[in-house]
């Protein structure tokens, strides 16, 4: 079901948090295509056109006879989350990691997550795969919002109980109501603060290494993580890789 676009009264964009940092000079864009800085400055609900590169896909499905997919994309300067992009199965299969796309749609916000909806696309020549940016130092700070939807990493996080009074390190769904194949939720801490992370099952299902690894976690484990900095009323990282913390 397509979620309803919600405009938050106290938008983080309006607060100027995004605009408080500079972006690097991008490669020359095609005519009519925005730079990342121009995309950040665009009003919510306005039409936007960007050139970006596939980093990961959240699955393809049909709804009312229309195929669609949700895609994590990024360029050298920032990331664009593409929600429910209409496409055929064949087009979806062509959206391999690093593939370049031109996207035209509408900039939207849902529970803090800034995304592009009601979009159309063209595949273009070119390739780019982003390296994860270590954002550990920004946990609990306003500055972390500038990495929204980007491929990121977290270092030296300690696994905490998934629920109060529990010795389990994860839950199926946020409230423990799920089963194998549903999202995994787990808590990690750093410097006395605890954060909830997710293995999003549409992105990384039960047969993936990260899903299996999170199920093997024990409270007290110290781990490094990679994923995408999704947002849902605050950071809600969608984790794609877990490993024992690297020795310093």
> Contact, 39 vs 78, CB < 8 A?
yes
Say yes or no to pLDDT of 27 above 60.
Answer: no
Residue percentage of the chain with pLDDT more than 70: 88
Can you list the alpha helix ranges (DSSP code H) found in 70-197?
89-94
Residues 180 and 231 in one domain: yes
Q: Which range has the worst mean pLDDT, 56-65, 90-99, 115-124, 128-137? A: 56-65
Task: Name the pLDDT band for 29 (thresholds 50, 70, 90).
Answer: confident
Task: Name the pLDDT band for 30 (thresholds 50, 70, 90).
Answer: confident
Per-residue model confidence (pLDDT) at position 28: 65
- Domain assignment of residue 2, yes or no: no
Task: Name the pLDDT band for 18 (thresholds 50, 70, 90).
Answer: very low
Residues 116 and 158 in one domain: no
Residues 167 and 181 in one domain: yes
- Domain assignment of residue 223, yes or no: yes
Which whole number is the average pLDDT over 44-51? 98
Say yes or no to pLDDT of 19 above 50.
Answer: no
**The domain boundary residue, chosen from 127, 142, 164:** 127
Residues 6+ apart with CB under 8 A from 87: 60, 67, 68, 69, 95, 121
> Contact, 173 vs 181, CB < 8 A?
no
Task: Name the pLDDT band for 14 (thresholds 50, 70, 90).
Answer: very low
Query: What's the total number of domains in the chain?
Result: 2
Question: With the CA atoms of 213, 80, 133 and 16 taken in that order, what torsion angle do they form, in degrees rounded to the nearest 10?
Answer: -130
Per-residue model confidence (pLDDT) at position 2: 34
If we measure between CA atoms, which residue out of 237, 3, 210, 234 comes closest to residue 134?
Answer: 237
CATH number for the domain harbouring residue 59:
2.40.50.140
Per-residue model confidence (pLDDT) at position 248: 66
Residues 70 and 166 in one domain: no
Per-residue model confidence (pLDDT) at position 63: 87
Per-residue model confidence (pLDDT) at position 229: 98
Residues 6+ apart with CB under 8 A from 215: 170, 184
Residues 180 and 83 in one domain: no
Token representation of residue 42? 């665009």
CA distance 229 to 214: 18
pLDDT digits 0-9 by tens, 149-189? 999 999 999 999 999 989 999 999 999 999 999 999 999 99
Residues 79 and 141 in one domain: no
- Domain assignment of residue 163, yes or no: yes
Per-residue model confidence (pLDDT) at position 64: 85
Apex CA 130: angle with CA 214 and CA 230, to 5°?
50
Which residue range is the domain that position 68 belongs to?
A: 25-127
Task: Name the pLDDT band for 93 (thresholds 50, 70, 90).
Answer: very high
- Domain assignment of residue 1, yes or no: no
């Amino acid at each position: 079901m397509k979620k309803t676009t919600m405009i938050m009264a106290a938008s983080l964009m309006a607060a100027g948090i995004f605009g408080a940092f500079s972006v690097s000079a991008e490669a020359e864009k095609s005519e009519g295509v925005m730079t990342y800085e121009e995309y950040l400055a665009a009003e919510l609900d306005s039409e936007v056109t960007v050139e970006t590169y596939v980093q990961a896909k959240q699955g393809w499905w049909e709804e009312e006879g229309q195929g669609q997919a949700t895609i994590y994309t990024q360029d050298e300067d920032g990331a664009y989350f593409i929600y429910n992009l209409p496409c055929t199965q064949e087009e979806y299969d062509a959206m391999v990691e690093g593939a370049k796309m031109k996207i035209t749609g509408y900039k939207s916000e849902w529970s803090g997550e800034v995304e592009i909806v009601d979009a159309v696309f063209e595949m273009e020549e070119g390739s780019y795969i982003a390296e994860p940016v270590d954002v550990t130092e920004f946990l609990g700070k306003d500055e972390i919002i500038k990495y929204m939807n980007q491929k990121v990493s977290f270092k030296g996080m300690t696994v905490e109980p998934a629920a109060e009074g529990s010795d389990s390190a994860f839950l199926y769904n946020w409230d423990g109501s799920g089963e194998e194949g549903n999202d995994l939720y787990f808590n990690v801490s750093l410097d006395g603060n605890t954060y909830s992370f997710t293995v999003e099952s549409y992105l990384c299902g039960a047969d993936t290494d990260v899903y299996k690894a999170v199920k093997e976690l024990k409270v007290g484990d110290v781990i490094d993580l990679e994923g995408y900095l999704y947002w849902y009323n605050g950071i809600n990282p969608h984790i794609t890789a877990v490993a024992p913390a690297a020795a310093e």
